[in-house]
Structure 1
Amino acid sequence: MTIIKAGKLLVRILKEEDKYLLAKWLSDPEILQYYEGRDNPFYLEKVEKKFFKEEDDATRCLIEFNGEPIGYIQFYEVDAEEKLTYGYEDSTELIYGMDQFIGESDYWNKGVGTLLVSSMVKYLIEEKGAGCIVMDPQTWNGRAIRCYEKCGFEKVKLLQANEWHEGEYRDCWLIEYRGKVGEEM
C-alpha cells in the first residue's frame, strides 16, 4: 500500500520480502554509524524480530526513489511514556514521532532526505491529523539536523544521555514541527 507519492519519491508499507534490504542496510557500517550503531548490526533474524514481529503501533515503510528501494521510515503516535520524557504530558494534541534512514549512501546529500521528511510531515498533518511531529536525532548528527531544520523542525529540548549508541549514552535533540503544511518547506 502506497503512503506517499511525491515526484520520484514513493513511500509504501513494508513487505516481508523487504527484510533482505533492511538486513543489507543495517549490517553496513556506513549506515550503522548513523542508525543503531556500528556495534549493533542487524542480520536477518534480528530484522525479522524488530521490524516484522515487534508489537507496537509503528507504521513501517520502505522508501523508493525513482523505482529503487533506498531506505526505511516509520511513524507512530507518541505514547504517554514518550510524552512524559519529552515534556508533553499535559498536551491534548495528537503528536506523531518518526524515524528514518536512507540505506543507500549514493542518495545522501542530494535532497532526497528533505523531500522525504517534508512529504511525511505533510502526510501526517493532512492525513493523520497531527498537531505536532517530533524526532530525537543525536546532537552530533549535523547532516540529519540540517535536513530536519530545512523542513521546518526546531530544536526544543536537549535530551541528555537519551540513546545508547556505540557503547555510550548519547545526547539527542528533541525537535518538533508545528507549522502548517507549506510553511518552511
Structure 2
Amino acid sequence: MLDKTLPYFNVIMKRQAGLPIAQHALPAEFSLSAFVPGDEMEWAHIETAVGEFMTVDEALAYFQATYLPHRDELVRRCLFLRRDDGQAVGTITGWWNTTEERRNPSVHWLAVLPDYQRLGLGKALVSECLKQLVWLEGNRDIFLHTQTWSHRAIAIYLKAGFEFVRQGSFGGYPNNYDKAMPILRTVLPSLVH
C-alpha cells in the first residue's frame, strides 16, 4: 500500500550495469507467469488495491493506452505473481523509457496485494524483473521512477542494488531528491545518503 500520510515527492533510482542479481525464491504456493491477453483486468485490480489508481477503470485505461499497443512486448515484460489457484496477487513490468534519443531499461509498477505484502514476494518480483531486463536489454544501467509514498518498495529496490539519483533523471520524470530524502530518512532510518 502507498503511504499517503507522507508528502509526495518524485524519486529516481538507478541500478548500475554489471551488479549481480540476488535470487529470491518464492514460497511453494506461488508462481510467476507472463502476461496473456485479459490479464490487464488483474493488473488494474492489483494497482488499484495498492492505491496507485482511484478506480479499476482508471487503471485499466492507463494500461490500455500505455502497454496494450505493445502487446508482443507485454508478453515478454509484464509478470504476474499467482497463488496456486491462479489468482494474481502481484505484478511488475520490465519496460523502457526514452530519454532524448536513448532507450533506458526501467522497472514499472511493482505491486503486491495488501494481504500478501511482507512475505518477500516483492523481492522475488524485482529479482525476476531484473533478470528479464538484462536478458532483453543487455547488461545496462536500469532505472526506475517512484515516490516517497512507496517507501516500502524503495527499501526493496535498495536491497536489489538501486541507488538514489541525486541530480538528473530519465524519461522526462521529475527528480525531487532534495525534498524526498528528508522524508525518506524518517521512514527508512537505515538510509545514510
Is 1:17 aligned to 2:32, yes or no?
no
With structure 2 as the length reference, what TM-score do the two structures score? 0.58
Gaps of 5+ in 1: 1-5, 84-93, 164-169, 174-185
8 Å CA contact 2:127, 2:160 repeated in 1: yes
Gaps of 5+ in 2: 1-24, 181-193
AA aligned opposite 1:115:
A
Comparing both chains, which one has the higher relative contact order based on Cα–Cα distances under 8 Å and sequence gaps of 6 or more? 2
Q: Give the RMSD, CA atoms, in angstroms.
A: 3.6
Change (3 A) 1:48 1:154: closer
Deviation at 1:55, TM superposition (A): 5.5
Q: How many aligned positions are there?
A: 145
Q: In structure 1, how many angstroms separate the alpha carbons of the residues matched to 2:100 and 2:71?
A: 13
With structure 1 as the length reference, what TM-score do the two structures score? 0.60
- SS of match in other structure, 1:76: strand
Identity of aligned residues (%): 24
AA aligned opposite 1:20:
M
Change (3 A) 1:154 1:105: same
**CA offset digits 1:144-168 (Å, max 9, x no partner):** 11010011111123579x46xxxxx
Is 1:49 aligned to 2:68, yes or no?
no
Change (3 A) 1:57 1:65: closer
8 Å CA contact 2:94, 2:130 repeated in 1: no
8 Å CA contact 1:71, 1:101 repeated in 2: yes
Change (3 A) 1:130 1:103: same
**CA offset digits 1:12-40 (Å, max 9, x no partner):** 1x222213323323443xx12xx24x4xx
Change (3 A) 1:138 1:111: same
8 Å CA contact 2:92, 2:109 repeated in 1: yes
Bigger strand share:
1
Bigger helix share:
2
AA aligned opposite 1:131:
R
Q: In structure 1, how many angstroms separate the alpha carbons of the residues matched to 2:63 and 2:167?
A: 32
